Amino acid sequence: MLSLRLCCSRSLVISKPFIGFVEKLSLSSRRNVSQSSTRNLCFCAKLLIEPNGLTSSQNHTPHDSPLSGMEEVLGSYVFGKKKATEVAHLVWKHVVQKGDMVIDATCGNGYDTLAMVKMVADESARGCVYAMDIQNDALESASSLLEESLNPNEKELVKLLPMCHSKMDKVVPEASVRLVAFNLGYLPGGDKKIITKPETTLLALEAAKGILMPGGLISLVVYVGHPGGWAESETVHTFASKLPVNNWVCCKFQMLNRPWAPILVLLFKR
């Protein structure tokens, strides 16, 4: 089961195409269930809004809405065609523009960093990707991947930093970043005893909130299958729940019948 939760402002305007997508999803789900007793799909969508909040409009589709163009992304996740990390990358592509400044707050083996470079790089060699990690093994792995995968101009856009993500606001200007992305947990293939901690993650989220520009996104893939994972997930949930509803749209994607599956959290700044 998938739970989709949106924390938004007083009214949430849903475009007709998106409503049509939800209707098709519902019909498709019922049809699939009736055709096969071995395939059961349960889709649960919860909107956390004020009593008069949900409206639809034929003539108004807000340009700053994170829902714009997301029908295919949501469908892929709901039907098990995309993992949380893949969905995160697809969402980034709807937000990041050529020439943007972005941050990989937990660069790990460098795959997110590589994806970010491809999103921001343009012919004029603008754009910048700050990639940070406290583990030398992670930085070396990321550096090796980038060396193999990027051309010389693209390499110039990357800054690999041996530092804690809680101090990201010390190296980038305020309100200048389009995307800040986190993978919370431990380094894949590394020492599982070295993990991100709720305390530093909270500091990092506060820092990210300050350096993010309007129209920017904080993206978190939270791994919970290790000691401390659920505590960190609760820290992220509490932080997101307290963001001002007039300035932020906060979404949480979670597989309810797979308790150890990664949780995707998206915090969109209006």
Rounded to two decimals, what is the model's pTM?
0.78
In a domain, 256, yes or no: yes
Question: What's the pLDDT at 58?
Answer: 40
Question: What's the pLDDT at 71?
Answer: 77
At how many degrees (to 10) do helices 84-95 and 111-120 cross? 20
In a domain, 253, yes or no: yes
Question: What's the pLDDT at 74?
Answer: 79
Question: What's the pLDDT at 59?
Answer: 40
**Domain count within the chain:** 1
* CATH assignment of the domain containing 176: 3.40.50.150
Alpha carbons 199 and 154: distance in angstroms, whole number: 34
Alpha carbons 106 and 181: distance in angstroms, whole number: 8
Distance, CA of 35 to chain centre = 34
Question: What's the pLDDT at 246?
Answer: 97
What are the contacts of 141-149 at 24+ separation with CB within 8 A? 141/108, 141/109, 141/110, 142/107, 142/108, 142/109, 142/110, 142/113, 143/110, 144/110, 145/109, 145/110, 145/111, 145/113, 145/114, 146/110, 146/113, 146/114, 146/117, 149/114
In a domain, 126, yes or no: yes
In a domain, 115, yes or no: yes
104 closest CA partner among 95, 115, 113: 113
In a domain, 259, yes or no: yes
Domain containing 125 equals 80-269
Give CA separation, 110 vs 115, 134, 163, 166, 223, in Å.
Answer: 9, 13, 15, 19, 17
In a domain, 12, yes or no: no
Question: What's the pLDDT at 10?
Answer: 32
Question: What's the pLDDT at 68?
Answer: 54
Q: Across the 270 residues of the chain, what is the mean pLDDT of every consecutive 10-residue run?
A: 46 40 42 36 33 38 52 82 91 95 98 98 90 97 98 96 98 96 96 96 98 98 97 98 98 93 97
* Residues 6+ away with beta carbon under 8 Å from 156: 125
In a domain, 55, yes or no: no
Dig out the tokens for 5 from the structure.
């939760």
Question: What's the pLDDT at 65?
Answer: 53
In a domain, 134, yes or no: yes
Q: Please state, as a whole number, how many other Cβ atoms lie within 10 Å of the Cβ of residue 154.
A: 18
Q: Please state, as a whole number, how many other Cβ atoms lie within 10 Å of the Cβ of residue 188.
A: 13
